[in-house]
Amino acid sequence: MGEGRLDFSRLVSFYERLEATTKRLEMRDILVELFRESEPGEAGKIAYLTLGELYPPHTGVELGMAEKLAIRALRLVSGVDEQRVEELLRKTGDLGLVAEQLLSSKKTQMTLSLEELTVEKVYGQLERIARFAGEGAMEMKVKTLSGLLAQASPKEAKYLIRLVTGKMRLGVADMTIIDALAAMSGGGKEEIERAYNLCSDIGLVASTVKSAGVEGASRIGMRFGIPVRPMLAERLTSAEEILGKLDGTGFAEYKYDGERMQIHKQNSHVLIFSRRQENITSQFPDVVEMCRRGLKAREAIAECEAVAYDPDTGDMLPFQELMHRRRKYDIEKAAQLYPVSLFFFDALYVDGQPLIDLPLLERRKMLESILEPSENFRLTEGIVVSDSENLDKFMLKAVEAGCEGVIVKDISPKSVYRAGARGWLWIKYKRSYVSKLTDTLDLVVVGAFYGKGKRSGKIGTLLMAAYDEDADVFKTVCKVGTGFKDEDLEHLTETLTPIALSRKPARVESIMEPDIWVRPEMVLEIVGDEITLSPIHTCGWGAIRQDAGLAVRFPRFTGRYREDKTPEDATTVKEIMEMYKSQLKVIASGEESEAA
């Protein structure tokens, strides 16, 4: 691996170009150029930095220095007082821009006399900043950052500040980086994507492609302690459609309403990863113990849904109850008060053997063979179904048992575990689709309006958007102001006001102008009565009718903050279009039976 040689100023010039476009193809081409210029050792670091990260998510080490501290470092190098910084920050809403402004007006041209910053050096210093802990850590963070800023040009300072405060957001998605790596190698997208899905480590993939090409990347496999990106389900609204899609037969399993966990076991060592590949082991000592005892393999990677239950009745409890387990203190006590049951549905790796390319039922057999079942530790309920009547019966049983519905899975020879993909090998069928829209949507907050009367000064209504996968943008679908408790509105005001933007974020498409814009980050669960055509929302614009998009009618917040979802995991524009179309079908069949 060669010595890093790319100047940070060069990287920044690429970032300026990336920031200036919202077109995915253009972004890809810029990234191709960037990766071409980098050494293998640098390529990984560049991949992380471009996504605003330092390491893959499972390491748990994040940038995200408090803005207050970054301001202190800025004041040290620019010599201006706090008031001035605050004032500029209020105006621009972006501390990066403030840094750029302050450093360009600085008289002393210290930077000229100093060595150029390189990507290697910047990355090394950012690692130090992220890792300082304990007594004196704040001081060290401020000192290290001001050291970097002192050597930086105004433009470099802009990105340094955005990086350390965790606000990089160039609008580049991980899949755009994958596309760029493939384009740079002249193909091999499938292999590169597969490698990424198996190791969920964009930096490792980038550096491997640079040093050993696509062939090298295709040797990346599953490893203990490295989470595999989860396979996800499509959705349909009737048993007939589902069986039609699966060539007549499928394996229907209860869809438990809990939290997905990917369990990694090696001897007595157990790790738990969330749906977003975070390491959540420390929050679930009880799950660790259950897996130590109940998974008989020496080495295994298996997936389950953890569901909270009422210890007095044994009944399954809704998802919200699990949120009590997301805490840092009194973990043992919480584990007793809010115990969980584990329902296993897949095995990806057992004792040296990767299973992901085997068909579903073979993986399940393997899973069964390593499971020592008990009341709260077992396989999901499931049956093979080939007719819609049985599927609907099974669905009712699932709902009766406290589940959200069922997931019907392909069992043909091609029914492999497709890491990181949402596809038709798994199809979810939730009870509420059966008639009208009482199903929930997971929507992204992109803007907010202040309340009136007793709510004035506080956020009262949110502008919500769905995710458009093709364009990688967020399109608005409703304004929601119902269902919030006072404490919700306080929480939203506190969280959203500091990150408010005066301009629309690049990845948001909206006709409405809210009082404040926010970057698409927070996902909330919303219910509504139905999907209607709308002249003011951009979701599905022009797809059903010219000059109209789609909106959720009578939206209400369910009380559920989907912290387990990234904005890209939100309900998609495509799904909302499907919902709209299936409503029409229900209406049409209702009309038919009325006519009869």
Q: How far is the CB of 428 from ligand ATP (least distance, A)?
A: 5
**Burial annotation 239-275 (CB, 10 A radius, 16+ → b, else e):** beebbebbeeebbbbbbbbbbbbbbbbeeeebbbbbb
In the complex with ligand ATP, which residue's Cβ is closer, 254 or 484?
254
Q: Shortest Cβ distance from residue 441 to ligand ATP (Å)?
A: 9
- Cα–Cα distance for residue pair 118/565, rounded to 1 Å: 35
For position 363 contacting ligand ATP by CB under 6 A, the verdict is no
- Least CB distance from residue 233 to ligand ATP, whole Å? 4
Q: Which of 262, 225, 223, 261 is nearest to 354 (CA)?
A: 223
Note whether 557 binds ligand ATP by CB under 6 A: no
Among the residue ranges 23-31, 89-97, 176-184, 254-262, the one whose residues contact ligand ATP (CB under 6 A): 254-262
DSSP H helix total and E strand total for the chain = 20, 21
364 binds ligand ATP (CB under 6 A): no
- Pairing of the two strands 422-430 and 259-266: unpaired
* Near ligand ATP by CB under 6 A: residue from 14, 48, 256, 541: 256
| By the rule CB under 6 A, 421 interacts with ligand ATP | no
**Residue 566 CB, nearest approach to ligand ATP (Å):** 10
Contact 386, 448 (CB under 8 A): no
Chosen residue from 24, 45, 428, 560 binding ligand ATP by CB under 6 A: 428
Q: Show contacts with ligand ATP in window 211-250 (CB under 6 A).
A: 230, 232-233
- Cα–Cα distance measured from residue 158 to residue 420, given in angstroms and rounded to the nearest whole number: 33
409 or 475: whose CB is closer to ligand ATP? Answer: 409
24: Cα separation from own chain's centroid: 19
Nearest to 473 by CA among 333, 570, 380, 341: 570
* Among 384, 432, 440, 406, CA closest to 305: 406
CA nearest neighbour of 193 among 184, 212, 206: 206
Segment interacting with ligand ATP (CB under 6 A) among 5-13, 76-84, 251-259, 364-372 = 251-259
For 104, other C-beta atoms within 10 Å of its C-beta total 12
Nearer to ligand ATP, 364 or 519 (CB): 364
Residue 262 in the binding site for ligand ATP (CB under 6 A): no
Cα 32 from Cα 209, distance rounded (Å): 12
CB of 546 to ligand ATP, least distance (A): 31
The residues carrying an active-site annotation are: 255
253 binds ligand ATP per the rule CB under 6 A: yes
Q: Least distance from C-beta 410 to ligand ATP, angstroms? A: 12
| Other beta carbons within 10 Å of 152 | 26
Pair 57, 129: CB distance under 8 Å: no
Rg (CA), the chain: 25
The answer to whether the CB of 469 falls within 8 A of the CB of 572 is yes
Measured CA to CA, the distance from residue 75 to residue 66 in angstroms comes to: 15
Residues touching ligand ATP: how many (CB under 6 A)?
16
Told to check if 255 binds ligand ATP by CB under 6 A, we report yes
242: Cβ–Cβ under 8 A, 6 or more apart, which residues? 236, 250, 388, 391, 408, 427, 429
Binding mask 433-472 for ligand ATP (x = CB under 6 A): ---------x------------------------------
Q: Which two tokens stand for residue 301?
A: 């990677």
- The one among 50, 101, 380, 476 contacting ligand ATP by CB under 6 A: 380
Nearer residue to ligand ATP within complex by CB, 110 or 401: 401
Choice between 325 and 428, CB closer to ligand ATP: 428
Residue 339 or 405: the one with the smaller Cβ distance to ligand ATP is: 405
Asked if 579 interacts with ligand ATP (CB under 6 A), we say: no
285-314: contacts with ligand ATP (CB under 6 A) = 305
Query: Considering the complex, what minimum distance in angstroms separates the CB of residue 306 from ligand ATP?
Result: 9
Q: Does residue 275 interact with ligand ATP by CB under 6 A?
A: yes
Selection from 207, 261, 184 nearest residue 195 by Cα: 207
Tell me which stretch binds ligand ATP (CB under 6 A): 25-33, 39-47, 253-261, 359-367. Answer: 253-261
Site string for ligand ATP, 326-345 (x = CB under 6 A): -------------------x
Q: What angle do CA 147, 149, 155 make, to 5 degrees?
A: 160
What the block records as the tokens of 586 is 């229900």
Residue 115 CB, shortest distance to ligand ATP, in Å, is 48
The smaller minimum CB distance to ligand ATP, of residues 207 and 440, is found at 440
Q: Compare residues 119 and 371 and give the one whose CB is closer to ligand ATP.
A: 371
Q: Which helix (H) or strand (E) holds 595?
A: helix 573-595
| Cα 435 versus chain centre, distance | 30
User: Residue 410 or 442: which CB sits closer to ligand ATP?
Assistant: 442
What mask, x for binding ligand ATP by CB under 6 A, covers residues 151 to 180? Answer: ------------------------------
Report if residue 556 touches ligand ATP, rule: CB under 6 A.
Answer: no
Is the Cβ–Cβ distance between 427 and 405 less than 8 Å? no
Please count the other Cβ atoms lying within 10 Å of the Cβ belonging to residue 545.
Answer: 12
Instruction: Give which of 323, 227, 341, 344 is closest to 278, Cα–Cα.
Output: 227
Q: Which residues would be at the binding site for ligand ATP (CB under 6 A)? A: 230, 232-233, 253-256, 260, 275, 305, 345, 380, 407, 428, 442, 569
